[in-house]
Amino acid sequence: MSDPGTGEQLLRTAHQLIVENDDIANTLELPRLASRLDVIREICRHLAPYQAGERPIVGATVIAKDLTIDSLAIMDMVMELEDSFDVSIPMNVVAEIHTVDQLADTILDLRAKR
């Protein structure tokens, strides 16, 4: 539980906690320390099915261009990420996001502002 850098386990837990969004879930906070790596990992997990060929998905991957994902699926993925990290990303903000890095930074920024 102590190393946010390898927070795979933490993240899974958080995922389950937020599913039922009753008041209990609200008091049990998400991993307070979602590291950048956690966020990137979670994004990559969502994007894996859309990988084009052998090219790995990295921070600089341009989501709508380098992958086989369409704009509706991007919005659906964002909805999942919103719940994983307990932030809301307005659609106009999503429209300005191009890369995995930008998406991760947006999520971290919004978390910091909570």
Partner 1 sequence: MGLFDRHAGLLEAYRDVRTTGADPFQIRMERVLSPTEAIINGRKTLLVGTNNYFGLTFDPSCMEAAIEAIRAEGTGTTGSRIANGSYSEHVLLEEEIAAFYGKKHCMVFTTGYQANLGVISTLVGQGDHLLIDADSHASIYDACKMTQAEVVRFKHNDPSSLESRLRRLGDKSGNRLVILEGIYSMLGDSAPLREFVDVCKKYGAYVLVDEAHSLGALGETGRGLCESAGVLDDCHFIVGTFSKTLGAIGGYCVSNDPDFDILRVTVRSYMFTASLPPSIVASVRQALRVVQARPELRKQLWDNVATLYDGLAAQGFKLGPEHGPVVGVHLPDRMLAIGFWRAMLDAGIYVNVAVPPATPNGVSLLRCSVCAAHTPEQLQHMIEVMTGIGRQLGVLSGAPKLRVVAGSR
Q: Which residues bind partner 1 (CB under 8 A)?
A: 18, 20-21, 26, 70-73, 75-76, 79, 82-83, 86-92, 114
| Cβ proximity to partner 1, 76 vs 109, nearer residue | 76
| Cβ proximity to partner 1, 89 vs 104, nearer residue | 89
Name all contacts of 11-19 with Cβ < 8 Å and 24+ positions apart: 11/38, 11/41, 11/42, 11/84, 14/84, 15/84, 18/83, 18/84, 18/86, 19/83
* Under 8 Å between Cβ of 14 and 83: no
- What gap in Å lies between CA 70 and CA 48, rounded to an integer? 14
The one-letter amino acid code at 98 reads H
| Cβ proximity to partner 1, 1 vs 72, nearer residue | 72
CB of 70: closest distance to partner 1 in angstroms? 6
| Cβ proximity to partner 1, 32 vs 114, nearer residue | 114
Task: Determine the 3-state secondary structure of 32 from DSSP.
Answer: coil
CB of 21: closest distance to partner 1 in angstroms? 5
